[in-house]
Copies of this chain bind each other. A is one copy, B any other.
Amino acid sequence: MSLLVVGTVAFDAIETPFGKTDKIVGGAATYAGLAASYFTKSINLVSVVGDDFPAETINLFHEKGINTKGLQIKEGEKTFFWSGKYHNDMNTRDTLITELNVLNTFDPIIPDELQGCEFLMLGNLMPQVQKTVIERLWKRPKLIVLDTMNFWMDVAMDSLLETLALVDVLTINDSEARQLSGEYSLVKAAQKILKMGPKYLIIKKGEHGALLFNEHQVFFAPALPLEDVFDPTGAGDTFAGGFIGHLAATKDISFDNLKRAIIFGSAMASFCVEKFGIERLVNLNQSEVNERVQEFIDLVQFDIILD
């Protein structure tokens, strides 16, 4: 029982400069779980949906090795729905609709048979819910990764700080790192945030890559330069899923292996943005993943021998 993924399973309606979708399947745990499934087949999902959620997607989870015993299906209720429109630069977006629906009352129940996970991915959720998950685990996982967003810094900072104190890795974007720390310099921001609890901080910079900090080291992973970013939705969750999926598969949480995990996460995210929603993520094969990782190696590899 290796990896537990807790987060939203949702419907999204997305508009980008390349087109728009009706309601399609999305959600942080969906993206993270699917990305992780290319690395480990021992994945457990804890989330909630309404009875409008398609059975074929739940079957897809099973095909991918994602156990849905912890996925609550609420009869007579509707699945969380988000709709957004991306601007031309694809880096900014407007939220058009947020219908919390089943998320309003989400109680993250951990079935007994899902206890004992070694790796825990907490997708973006209300910080209090994330904290509850940690408290309900009988044994602390080897590594807890938490994703959050600026919204919780605006409305629930105290609760977020309490939750942060309990995790090992925090993943946020550059503007969130600045907001959380009050520092513009990402190096200074990282120093402050690492004092809040996490041993590792990953700052996601979208098309500009990602930075991994611990107290004494820093690692930078680029994003692959792509001809087109078709739909950025879920890229951060996919990154996190590939990251923790690699760690769960190797059970090695050394800094060197975290660096590798970031490259695998970046590779998965680079697939995610090539099509709408989860489309690209569901049909990959291992050789495509390896080829993409090789592109990352080629992108940054150089040999300098210093005197």
* Residues 211-261 of A contacting B (Cβ, < 8 Å): 211, 217-222, 225-229, 256, 259-260
Q: Which of A7-15, A137-145, A179-187, A276-284 forms contacts with chain B?
A: A179-187
Q: Given the complex, which residues of B lie within 8 Å of A299, measured CB to CB? A: 218-220
User: Closest Cβ of chain B: how far from A280's Cβ, in Å?
Assistant: 17
Residue A294 at the chain B interface, CB threshold 8 Å: yes
Residue A306 at the chain B interface, CB threshold 8 Å: yes
Q: Are A259 and B225 in contact (CB under 8 A)?
A: no
Q: Are B303 and A290 in contact (CB under 8 A)?
A: no
User: Closest Cβ of chain B: how far from A222's Cβ, in Å?
Assistant: 4
Residue A121 at the chain B interface, CB threshold 8 Å: no
Residue A151 at the chain B interface, CB threshold 8 Å: no
Contact with B along A262-291 (1 / 0, CB 8 A): 010000000000000000000000000010
Residue A209 at the chain B interface, CB threshold 8 Å: yes
Question: Copies per complex?
Answer: 2
**Chain B residue nearest to A304 in the complex (CB):** B260
Residue A300 at the chain B interface, CB threshold 8 Å: yes
Q: How far does the alpha carbon of A307 sit from the alpha carbon of B294 in the complex, in Å?
A: 11
Q: Are A188 and B307 in contact (CB under 8 A)?
A: no
**Chain B residue nearest to A222 in the complex (CB):** B220
**Chain B residue nearest to A259 in the complex (CB):** B302
Q: Given the complex, which residues of B lie within 8 Å of A95, measured CB to CB? A: none
A256-B303 contact in complex given A220-B225, A225-B211, C-beta closer than 8 Å: yes
Q: Interface range on chain A: under 10, 10 to 19, 20 to 34, or 35 or more?
A: 35 or more
Residue A100 at the chain B interface, CB threshold 8 Å: no
Q: Are B260 and A302 in contact (CB under 8 A)?
A: yes
Q: How far does the alpha carbon of A209 sit from the alpha carbon of B221 in the complex, in Å?
A: 11
User: Closest Cβ of chain B: how far from A296's Cβ, in Å?
Assistant: 8
Residue A69 at the chain B interface, CB threshold 8 Å: no
Q: Which of A229, A290, A300 neighbours the largest number of chain B CB atoms within 10 Å of its CB? A: A300
A304-B300 contact in complex given A89-B184, A187-B227, A226-B187, C-beta closer than 8 Å: no
Residue A71 at the chain B interface, CB threshold 8 Å: no
Q: Are A300 and B187 in contact (CB under 8 A)?
A: no
Q: How far does the alpha carbon of A284 sit from the alpha carbon of B268 in the complex, in Å?
A: 41
Report which of B184, B220, B256, B306 forms a contact with A300, defined as CB distance below 8 A.
B220
Q: Which residues of A contact B (CB under 8 A)?
A: 88-89, 184-188, 205, 208-209, 211, 217-222, 225-229, 256, 259-260, 263, 290, 293-294, 297-300, 302-304, 306-307
Q: Beyond A185-B226, A259-B302, list 9 extra A-B contacts (CB 8 Å).
A: A187-B227, A208-B208, A209-B220, A209-B222, A219-B299, A220-B225, A220-B299, A220-B300, A221-B302
For this complex, 6 residue pairs linking A to B, each with C-beta atoms less than 8 Å apart, are A88-B184, A188-B228, A208-B209, A220-B299, A260-B303, A263-B304
- 5 tightest A-B contacts by CB? A208-B208, A259-B302, A220-B222, A187-B227, A290-B306
